[in-house]
């Protein structure tokens, strides 16, 4: 039985027969929305644009077919995604879950609409980003990863398709279906980022649906993901923003995996020096030897970035090609 999300109830002031104002709780449902175009298709879900008919607010609604989820034994993923989203509500860089409801056929997640679409789409249009844009988007992505990790969440499938952009062209990280919630996140994030989770027992080893380019070597080798796995993916994303291609790309998934395990990649000529130094400290086979978040933030590539709230207050830089 899928527990509905309490926040689905909204209170509305209504005057009752005696003229006394009553606070009535109303539950949102499918009929409260005008559904629009399809924004994205996941393996078990479709994300549609939708408008709340009452307040005309725009949302993205992720629709999951109950029968399909049960048949494919994905109920656990759905609950993990909802629980993960419910832990990550206080950060501008993470897509926010407002409420959930269901009807006889489907489950519905009502979420932030990231109207700027996928970062990957913008990158493909631009070819590549210049240093200033890479620094800005890299910083917002890293700030969001840092927040996830302090909340005891490992994303495990970070890639440009899962980095969305909102109407201000700010980062919105999404797709937490393969996230891992660490058992008891130590509040000060003291645990060793290279310390693998119970990956071995974890039968939800990342399904290689979608792209394999960002999978970490530890996930390939021993199905273990840890916080440092997200930092490996972060290194791949920084490389790709500046180079216009991911570091590990081959004719098929198997050959891509071989390149990852052999750390076989090359920088294009003209790749900025500081970015190269940072990428080389992230694309390290041993998770424990990758730069931890704090040291990435103080790396000279991010010189001039004000971390924290300020990062989300200033306008995004105009997108320019890296020539």
Ligand X SMILES: C[C@@H](Nc1nc2c(c3cc(-c4cn[nH]c4)ccc13)C(=O)N=C/C2=C\CC1CC1)C(C)(C)C
The residue range among 6-14, 107-115, 135-143, 249-257 that interacts with ligand X, by the rule CB under 6 A, is 107-115
**Among the listed residues 78, 114, 153, 154, the single contact to ligand X using CB under 6 A:** 114
The answer to whether residue 39 forms part of the interface with ligand X (CB under 6 A) is yes
The answer to whether residue 112 forms part of the interface with ligand X (CB under 6 A) is yes
**Is residue 304 left, alpha or beta, with left meaning phi > 0 and alpha meaning psi from -120 to 50?**
left
Q: Which is nearer to ligand X, 37 or 315 (CB)?
A: 37
The residue range among 8-16, 160-168, 213-221, 253-261 that interacts with ligand X, by the rule CB under 6 A, is 160-168
Residues 6+ apart with CB under 8 A from 56: none
The residue range among 142-150, 157-165, 229-237, 310-318 that interacts with ligand X, by the rule CB under 6 A, is 157-165
**Among the listed residues 115, 181, 249, 276, the single contact to ligand X using CB under 6 A:** 115
Tokens of 259: 């390149």
The answer to whether residue 84 forms part of the interface with ligand X (CB under 6 A) is no
The answer to whether residue 157 forms part of the interface with ligand X (CB under 6 A) is no
**Among the listed residues 5, 8, 62, 141, the single contact to ligand X using CB under 6 A:** 62
Q: Which is nearer to ligand X, 42 or 292 (CB)?
A: 42
To ligand X, the closest distance from the beta carbon of 43 in angstroms equals: 8
Contact string 199-238 vs ligand X (x = CB under 6 A): ----------------------------------------
The answer to whether residue 257 forms part of the interface with ligand X (CB under 6 A) is no
The single-letter DSSP state of residue 194 is: T
The answer to whether residue 113 forms part of the interface with ligand X (CB under 6 A) is yes
Nearest to 231 by CA among 292, 285, 320: 292
In the three-class reduction of DSSP (H, G, I as helix; E, B as strand; rest coil), residue 38 is classed as strand
E strand residue ranges, the chain: 9-15, 21-27, 33-41, 45-52, 58-65, 97-102, 106-111, 117-118, 153-154, 163-165, 171-173, 180-181
To ligand X, the closest distance from the beta carbon of 168 in angstroms equals: 14
Using a CB cutoff of 8 Å and minimum separation of 24, what contacts does 195-198 make?
195/226, 195/288, 196/222, 196/224, 196/225, 196/226, 196/287, 197/154, 197/224, 197/225, 197/226
Q: Is 143 a catalytic residue?
A: no
- Helix crossing, 273-282 with 227-243: angle to 10°? 150
Burial class (CB in 10 A: 0-12, 13-18, 19+), 234: buried
Report CA 117 to chain centroid distance, whole Å: 13
Q: What residues make contact with ligand X under the rule CB under 6 A?
A: 39-42, 47, 60, 62, 81, 95, 109, 111-115, 117-118, 161-162, 164, 174-176
Catalytic residue list: 157
């Amino acid at each position: 039985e899928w527990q509905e999300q309490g926040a689905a109830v909204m209170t509305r002031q209504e005057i009752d027969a005696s003229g006394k104002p009553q606070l009535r709780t109303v539950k949102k449902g499918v009929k409260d929305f005008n559904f629009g175009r399809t924004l994205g298709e996941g393996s078990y879900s479709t994300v549609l644009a939708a408008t709340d008919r009452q307040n005309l607010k725009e949302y993205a609604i992720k629709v999951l077919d109950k029968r399909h989820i049960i048949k494919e034994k994905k109920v656990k993923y759905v609950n993990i995604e909802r629980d993960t989203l419910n832990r990550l509500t206080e950060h501008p860089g993470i897509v926010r879950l407002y409420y959930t409801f269901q009807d006889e056929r489907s489950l519905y997640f009502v979420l932030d609409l990231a109207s700027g679409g996928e970062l990957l789409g913008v990158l493909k249009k631009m070819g590549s980003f210049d240093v200033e844009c890479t620094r800005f988007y890299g910083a917002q992505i890293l700030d969001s990863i840092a927040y996830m990790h302090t909340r005891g969440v490992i994303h495990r499938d970070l890639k440009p398709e899962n980095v969305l952009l909102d109407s201000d062209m700010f980062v919105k990280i999404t797709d937490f279906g393969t996230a891992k919630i660490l058992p008891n996140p130590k509040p000060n994030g003291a645990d060793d980022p290279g310390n693998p989770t119970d990956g071995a027992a974890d039968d939800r080893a990342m399904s290689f649906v979608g792209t394999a380019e960002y999978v970490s070597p530890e996930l390939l080798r021993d199905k273990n993901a840890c916080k440092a796995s997200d930092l490996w993916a972060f290194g791949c994303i920084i490389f790709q923003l500046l180079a216009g291609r991911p570091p590990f790309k081959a004719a098929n998934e198997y050959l891509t995996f071989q390149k990852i395990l052999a750390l076989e990649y090359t920088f294009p000529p003209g790749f900025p020096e500081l970015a190269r130094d940072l990428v080389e400290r992230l694309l390290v086979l041993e998770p424990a030897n990758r730069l931890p978040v704090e040291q990435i933030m103080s790396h000279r590539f991010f010189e001039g970035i004000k971390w924290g709230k300020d990062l989300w207050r200033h306008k995004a830089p105009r997108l320019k090609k890296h020539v």
